[in-house]
Amino acid sequence: MVDNLRYFIINKPYKVLSQYTDEAENKGLGSIFRIPKGIYAVGRLDLDSEGLLILTNDKKLNSALLNPENEHKRTYHVEVEGTPSTAALKALSEGLSITIDGKPYRTKKAEARVLMDYNFPERSPAVNRIKHPETSWVEVILTEGKNRQVRKMTAKVGHPTLRLIRVGIEDLALDPLMPGQIVMISKKVLYKKLKL
């Protein structure tokens, strides 16, 4: 059975579900990737989020990455309205109160900084630059993954998220994958990069 374990990393495009099948009017991963039967996403990215997603049939990996006690670092590049102040970045880093499942939740300590000269390929469709003329890119590194957490955090400090890209999990990086690309990766390399 161990010999049948397979691992893929993908760059999930905007407006694609983190599941194989389509749902209502939304496309699933199966509409753009040919994935062997029994291979599933580890965790998820929201429909309107982009970036690094791991696909595998390794249940041990799924458990290890999704267990909150392991506190794996997840790195996001986030395009937000305006430019966060030092105080806003400090609030993101030190933890703040957001709502999860209708209840107040205090986020764990994180890392947050404004990215200078950020140049990521425009998504399709692009962010409305007329409606949002002033934006900046912020790097947020979390060790937890609550539902829509990054979006709730940036909104809380007055800088709503316009675009959200997961660019890394521990030492596993999205670059150089372009949106819609998939590559197979060995267990040894993947586990090393994920520090497992």
Tell me the catalytic residues. 46
**CA distance linking residue 57 with residue 135, whole number of Å:** 39
Cite the beta strand spans of 87-192 per DSSP E.
Answer: 97-100, 103-106, 111-115, 135-142, 161-169, 172-173, 182-184
C-alpha torsion sign, points 7, 65, 165, 33: positive
Within 10 angstroms of residue 195's Cβ, the number of other Cβ atoms is 13
**CA distance linking residue 120 with residue 175, whole number of Å:** 11
Structure-block tokens of residue 184: 């197979």
